[in-house]
Structure 1
Amino acid sequence: MSDEAPTRGARLLTEERRRKILELVEMENRVTVEGLVRRFAVSSVTIRADLDSLAKAGSLIRSHGGAIKCIDPRADYPIAFKEALHHAEKARIGHAAAELIRPGQIIILDSGTTTAEIARRLKHLRLRPITVITNALNSAMELSSTPDLSVVMLGGILRPMSFSLVGPQAEQTLRNLNADQLFLGVDALDPELGLSTPDILEAQLNALMIKVAKEVTVVADSSKLGRRSLSVICKTNAIHRLITDTGADGQIVEALREQGVVVQMV
C-alpha cells in the first residue's frame, strides 16, 4: 500500500497540472514553457512532457517554445500566427516542392505560409529563368529582387489576414494566363470532401488556378489532413501530388494514393 500511494499521488498531480494547463490555453489561447515553469514550479523537461502528451491527445498544438489552442479549420487566422505553427515541417515541404521546378517554367504560388517557404527556397536555387504568378504579397516581396526571375502579381481585393489578393479582378487576370505547375497551400484536405478553405473568394481563385495549370501540387503539413473547412476548392482527383510531412495519418495517405494522388512525405 505504501509503495502504491506515492505513485497514485504523482499521477494525480500530473493530471491536475495538465488540466490547469488546458484551462490556461483555453483562456489565453497560448502558453509558453517558461511561463508554465514559473507557474507550476517544475522543470522545463516536465512541462515539455506535459505539452507533448496533451498535443498527442489532440488537446492543444505545440508551437516553438510553448503551445497554442487547437485551430478550428473553419476559421481564418493571421499569417503571422500560422508561421509559428509546424515551421520545421513547412520548411521541409517547401524545399521538396522547390526541387520539382525546372528552368524556363511558369509556376503559380498560392498564398500561405508553406508556399512562402517555396519562395524562400527558390531564391537560392539556380533555376533561371523562372516566371512566378502569385496572389501572395509576402511571396512576391520575397522574390522581387531575385535576378532572372519574373513575378506576375494578380490584382484584386486584399485579405489582410493572409496577405493575399482575391476576387473578380484576380480571377480575370488569371484567366488569360497559363502555368506549368501550381503549388497550392490548403487549410484542410479530406479524401472524401476534397480540398477546402475558410474563405469563399480564396476557394474560387484556387479552383481557377487549378484549371490553368498543367500540374497541381498541394503542399500541406500533416495537421491539415483529414480536416474540412467552409468552402470546397476541388475534389482530390483534380490534383496530381501532395507533399506533406512524416506525421501524416497512414489511412489518409493510403486513401489519397488509391485515388491516384502521388503522396510524398518529407
Structure 2
Amino acid sequence: MIRPPSSPRLLVEERRRLIIEQVERVGRATVEELAARFSTSPVTIRTDLEVLARNAAIVRSHGGALPAPPRAVDTPLAIKETRHHAQKRRIGQAAAKLVENGETIILDSGSTTIEIARALGQRKWSELTVITNGLHIALELGTIPAVRVMMLGGLLRTSSHSLVGPGAEQTLAQLSADRLFLGVDGIDTDIGVTTSDPQEAALNALMIRVSREVIGVFDSSKFGQRNLSVIGPVALLHTVITDAGADDRHFFALREKGLHLILV
C-alpha cells in the first residue's frame, strides 16, 4: 500500500487525490479505513468525500465511497489530474527528456501535458520556446527566465483551463514548432484520436499541421475510448508515450501503423 507523505499536515488537495486513487484501485473505501490511513478524524474524511462526490470524482456510499462511473461529459481538469496520476507523471518525465535546448514546442492543455511542464521546469535551459493554449501550463513555466511562453488567445474553457476558438487558431496558424505533445481523451486505431470538445479538436488538428513531429502523451486508460470530436487519424502521430497498462493488441496496432511506442 502506498503511504501518504510523512508531513505533519498533509495538504488537503494531495490527501483527496490519494483518496480517489485508493477508491479506484480497491473498488471501495470506508471512512474508518481512510481516517486510519491518513491519521485524521472521520469528520475530516467525510468532508473530503462530500467534496469529491460533488465534483463527481467518487460516489458517496453508506460509510464510505465507491468509484465514479465513466462520464461522457467533459470532466474538469482538477479531477482529471487526480486520475492515473503516477502514470501521467512518468509519461511527463519521459516526454520532457525528448526536448532539447533551443527548440520550439507545443504543449496542448491537459492533465498529462501539465506533468510535462512540471518536468521541464526541473531542467536547466539556455533557451526554450513553449506554445500553449493551457493557462495552467503557462503559469507553470512562465516564471522560468530562459523559457519563452507564447499563449494562444481565444475563448476560455473553464473546465480545462484552455483557450480555444477562432482567436487561438488564427494565432497558431502563423507559428511553427519542432514538436507537439498532444494529450487526448480517447484513441481508437480505426477512428483516430478524439477529445470531448469540437473547438478543442479543431485547435489540436491545427497544432498537428504546424508541427514537424507529433508525440501523443496519454495513459493507457485512453485506449479503446471514443469521444465526441475526432482530432485526426492515428497515423498523424509519430510517437506515443504511454504506460504499459493497456492490452498488448493496442500496442501491436500502433506499431503496425508505423508509430514509435515508448512505454513507461
1:210-225 map, 5 Å: 210-225=208-223
Q: Distance in 1 between matches of 2:172 and 2:106?
A: 10
- Deviation of 1:115 after TM superposition, in Å, equals 0.1
Structure 2 counterpart of 1:77, which letter?
T
Residues in 2 aligned to 1:125 and 1:209: alpha-carbon distance in whole angstroms: 25
Q: Which of 17, 20, 31 is 1:35 aligned to?
A: 31
Pair 1:71 & 2:70 matched: yes
| 1:165 matched residue in structure 2 | 163
Q: Which has the higher helix share?
A: 1
1:120 matched to which residue of 2?
A: 118
Q: Residues 176 and 228 of structure 1: is their aligned pair in 2 closer, same or farther, counting only changes over 3 Å? A: same
- What SS does structure 2 have at the residue aligned with 1:124? coil
In 1: Cα distance, 2:140 partner to 2:189 partner: 33
Match of 1:177 in 2: 175
Matched, 1:89 2:87: yes
1:1-266 aligned within 5 A: 33-35=29-31, 37=33, 68-72=67-71, 74-266=72-264
CA-to-aligned-CA distance 1:45-101 (integer Å, 9 cap, x gap): xxxxxxxxxxxxxxx99xxx97531323x4201111111100000000000000000
CA pair 176-249 structure 1, distance change in 2 beyond 3 A: same
The amino acid that maps onto 2:161 is F
Query: 1:69 is aligned with what amino acid?
Result: A
Larger Rg: 1
| 1:70 partner letter | P
1-side partners of 2:130 and 2:33: how far apart?
46
What amino acid is aligned across from residue 205 of structure 2 in structure 1? A
> Secondary structure in 1 aligned to 2:121?
helix
Give the TM-score normalised by the residue count of structure 2.
Answer: 0.77
| Separation of aligned partners in 2, 1:201 and 1:177 | 19
From the superposition, tell whether residues 142 and 66 of structure 1 become closer, same or farther in structure 2 (CA, over 3 Å).
farther
Residues in 1 aligned to 2:144 and 2:33: alpha-carbon distance in whole angstroms: 44
Cα displacement string for residues 132-185 of structure 1 (whole angstroms, at most 9, x for unaligned residues): 000000000000101210000000000000000000000000000000000000
Deviation at 1:116, TM superposition (A): 0.1
**Count of residue pairs brought into register by the alignment:** 213
Map Cα deviations across residues 107-130 of structure 1 (whole Å, 9 max, x no partner). Answer: 000000100000001011123300
Following the alignment from structure 2 to structure 1, what is the Cα–Cα distance between the partners of residues 243 and 93? 12
Letter in 1 for 2:89: A
User: Secondary structure in 2 aligned to 1:208?
Assistant: helix
**1:32 positional shift:** 6.3
SS class of match (2:101): coil
Query: In structure 1, how many angstroms separate the alpha carbons of the residues matched to 2:246 and 2:202?
Result: 27
Classify the secondary structure of the residue corresponding to 1:113.
coil
Residues 153, 81 of structure 1: alpha-carbon distance in 2 compared, 3 angstrom cutoff: same
Structure 2: which 5+ residue stretches go unaligned? Answer: 1-19, 35-56, 59-63
1:162 counterpart SS class:
coil
The amino acid of 2:236's aligned partner reads: A
2: distance between equivalents of 1:84 and 1:243?
A: 19
State how far apart, in whole Å, the 1-side matches of 2:251 and 2:212 are.
23
Q: Give the Cα–Cα distance (whole angstroms) in 2 for the partners of residues 95 and 248 of structure 1.
A: 20
SS in 2 for 1:84: coil
The SS at the match of 1:112 is coil
- Give CA deviations for 1:10-47 in whole Å, capped at 9, x if unaligned: xxxxxxxxxxxxxxx9xxx9x86242749xxxxxxxxx
TM-score after normalising by structure 1: 0.76
Q: CA deviation at 1:247?
A: 0.6
